[in-house]
Amino acid sequence: MPELFLTIFFISILLIFLGTGIWVALSMVGVSAIGMLLFTSRPVGDAMATTIWGTSSSWTLTALPLFVWMGEILFRTKLSENLFKGLAPWMSRLPGGLIHVNVVGCALFAAISGSSAATVATVGKMSIPELRKRNYPEKLLLGSLAGSGTLGLLIPPSIILIIYGVTVQESIAKLFIAGIIPGIMIAIFFMLYVIGWSIVNKNSMPKMEETFSFSQKIKQSGQLIPVIVLIAAVIGSIYVGIATATEAASLGVVGALILSSFQKSLNKETFKLSLLGATKTSCMIAFILAGSAFLSLAMGFTGLPRNLAIWINEMSLSPYVLIMVLTIFYIILGMFLDGISAVVLTMAIIEPMIRQAGFDMIWFGVFLVIVVEMAQITPPVGFNLFVLQGMANKDMGFIAKSAFPLFLLMILAVIVIIIFPEIALWLPQQMIQPLK
């Protein structure tokens, strides 16, 4: 079949480029140029220049560097220390004790970061030494941290949801809101796992000697108020329709600067480091997106996506079978590529299939991010595993085994949102449309 031949050709050339160490963005540009030269009569140079400029100058994309910068600013504050001190009094009496700080702390930081690796690093740099000092089991400590760190990809503002929204031209505001309930659901799954594990392995858990009165809990929680206010302002402004995602990102940056200033962690050096960090990350992502846009254009000219969609339709696969195949596909792909690359490399082919099958693209974005989250804790290229390996001085195998039960819980989350798509779609449907 012609479409099968083209698919194999494109994938083979792409794998050759990636295998030789060429950057992901340049690999996509190279494959696109070769495909257009061989299979179309379109002028490659003009198409490349127009597409890359159009993608790079997208107004929607301006939310990306702003949210990245907000996370970079807060990463350099006393936020990790405040998260631990503010959450510990409330979590200490639950079965599993302070391990819950990992889950809830990651969920909170995810709501101001958008990065999985930054979430793990921020929460882990305070919780690992504190929980080790209290003799919590390493398996539960590191497993909960690795799994919970993936929430940085789903709970808004999510970098990967911005990229997905730009790629498939869907509302980033709606994608953000769609990620809230599934993100909370997964966090609850993780907390239930911690409770269950601690009950079954009661003898391995340390005895809690710290007790807090209600007034002490309230006092300690005061350190979380600025963070919660910032989260509410950013997400709330999108939900009630007074700000677009880009405007909310600007609000978030201003709030992060004010918060870090009050904490006396904002100085010339930290400001410079946060700005450079955000610039490097944003340029890398923008470059990949530009390559992805050119790849989508090249494949469109060859007719591959349209023909593949027709082929899939003729196979009469049920929607559930298609989603099951895509789940397995993305888990395998995520073992070798980071989440951003996995999404932008495949959307040109996958998007027509999903639209042809009749799936809601907002729902599919949430589904896709959860599956990509799994890849963050699967070797050999599990970014969260690498981050934890450096922080915890444990081998990759031990951390991966510790995180495996949470990997299974994310599979459960995928099954739940497939059976009940309203979990992802209900909240966006209640949104007031943002002002233009």
The string of pLDDT tens digits covering residues 216-260 is 777 777 777 888 888 888 888 888 888 888 888 888 899 888 888
Rounded to an integer, the average pLDDT of 77-87 is 76
Q: What percent of the chain has pLDDT over 70?
A: 91
> What is the pTM for the complete model shown?
0.79
pLDDT above 70 (res 48): yes
| Residue 406 near residue 190, CB atoms below 8 Å | yes
Segment of 300-304, 306-310, 360-364 carrying the highest mean pLDDT: 360-364
Q: How high is the pLDDT of residue 436?
A: 45
Give the residue, 377 or 431, on which the prediction is more confident: 377
Question: For residue 380, is the peptide bond before it cis, meaning its omega torsion is within 30 degrees of 0?
Answer: yes
Question: How far is residue 110's CA from residue 119's CA, in Å, rounded to a whole number?
Answer: 6
pLDDT above 80 (res 293): no
Q: Is the dihedral of CA 85, 90, 95, 101 positive or negative?
A: negative
Question: How far is residue 251's CA from residue 253's CA, in Å, rounded to a whole number?
Answer: 6
- Give which of 270, 266, 236 is closest to 252, Cα–Cα: 236
Q: How high is the pLDDT of residue 380?
A: 64
Lowest mean pLDDT: which of 46-50, 107-111, 208-212, 341-345? 208-212
At 381, phi and psi to the nearest 5? -115, 60
pLDDT above 80 (res 429): yes
Rounded to an integer, the average pLDDT of 416-436 is 82
pLDDT above 80 (res 309): no
pLDDT above 90 (res 207): no
pLDDT band of residue 435 (cuts 50, 70, 90) is very low
Question: How far is residue 300's CA from residue 294's CA, in Å, rounded to a whole number?
Answer: 10
| Residue 400 near residue 388, CB atoms below 8 Å | no
Rounded to an integer, the average pLDDT of 391-412 is 89
Segment of 300-304, 326-330, 378-382 carrying the highest mean pLDDT: 326-330
Contacts of 289 (CB under 8 A, 6+ apart): 55, 56, 61, 163, 166, 167, 344
Give the residue, 62 or 315, on which the prediction is more confident: 62
Mean pLDDT of the residues in the chain: 82
For 313-322, how does the pLDDT look when each residue is reduced to its tens digit (9 = 90+)?
Answer: 677 778 888 8
- Residue 248 structure tokens: 């909310």
Task: Return the amino acid letter for 16.
Answer: I
Q: How high is the pLDDT of residue 15?
A: 75
- Give which of 315, 295, 425, 426 is closest to 359, Cα–Cα: 425
Rounded to an integer, the average pLDDT of 76-101 is 81
